[in-house]
Amino acid sequence: MTISKYCASGNDFLIFHSFLEQNRAKMAIKLCNRFYGIGADGMVVLLPYENKDSESREIAYKWEFYNADGSFAGMCGNASRAASLYAFHNKLATQNHSFLSGTGIIDTSITEIVDSKHAYVQSNLGEYTLQGNVVENRRGNVYEFEHIIMRIPHLVYFATSMKEFNLLSNDLEFLSHLRHKYDANINIAIRENDKIYYATFERGVENITQACGTGACAVYVSLRDFSKTYTLIPPSKERLQVFYDSGLIYFSGLVTKVCDCII
C-alpha cells in the first residue's frame, strides 16, 4: 500500500484513503514511530461518506484520525488542512470542500497552489466555547490558564516575558501534569504586537509539537480581539493566519507534500 506524508506548518501526518473502516491504532503506533517507522504526529485515513438527504452541503469524505500513540482524536486542525490537500491531490475532492471529522463537519479551502507539492490551505474550525479559568501553582509561582474548547479542549496561558515563555514551554513535567489533570492540550503564548508566539503540548504526542492548529485558534480566542487577523508563530516558525468571521474561527497556512511511502 502507499501512504503519503504531508506537513502542515510543522505538524506532520501520514495519510491514505480506504474503503474499509476499522481500528488502525496499532498501525498508527508503528508507522508514526520516528525511529522504527516513517515518523509523524498522527495518521489520517479518508473513508467514503454517503450524504444524507437532510444535509444541506455535500460531504466529500469522512476521516479516522489517530495520534502517534494510537489514541483516536475527533479533531486536529493542521491535519484537516493536510487531509484537504491530500484529497485534492488524489482527486477525492475539489479545491474547496467539506469533510466529516469526529467533532462534526469541517469546511476547507485551498486558497493558493504554489506548486505540485505546496499550497496554502484554510480550515473553518467553527465556534469556540469558554470553560472558565484554572489556577495552578508551580515552584512558588501562580499561573492562571483559560480553558477553551476549540473543537477539542485547550488551556492557554500568556507569558509576561520571553524568559517566562521559554521557562514554561520547556517545563515538560509541568505541562504533562496539566495535560493529564485537565485532559487538554496546553498552550504557552506570548504577544509581540500583532504577532503571537506559542508552543503546544499535545495529547497523543505527549510533547511540544512543531505546530498545533486548534491550539493556535484557542490562543487567538484568548486574546479577545476579533477585529483583525493575527499571525500565530509556532516552534516550526511556519506562520499561521487566524481570523474571526460571523462567529466562526478560521486559520490558514502552508501545507507541504513530503513524499509517498510504499509499505
Distance CA 95, CA 220 (A): 26
Question: Could you give the C-alpha distances from 220 to 55, 102, 216, 234, 255, in angstroms and in order?
Answer: 30, 23, 6, 13, 20
Q: Which residues are known to be catalytic?
A: 76
Three-state secondary-structure class, residue 82: helix
Backbone region of residue 139 per phi and psi (left: phi > 0; alpha: psi in -120 to 50; beta: other values): left
Three-state secondary-structure class, residue 192: strand
Contact 47, 37 (CB under 8 A): no
Amino acid occupying residue 86: Y
What cell numbers appear for 154 in the block? 485547550
Distance CA 35, CA 262 (A): 17
Question: What residue ranges in the chain does DSSP mark as E strands?
Answer: 2-8, 11-17, 42-47, 62-67, 96-101, 104-113, 118-126, 129-138, 141-150, 152-158, 185-192, 195-202, 207-208, 230-233, 240-245, 248-262
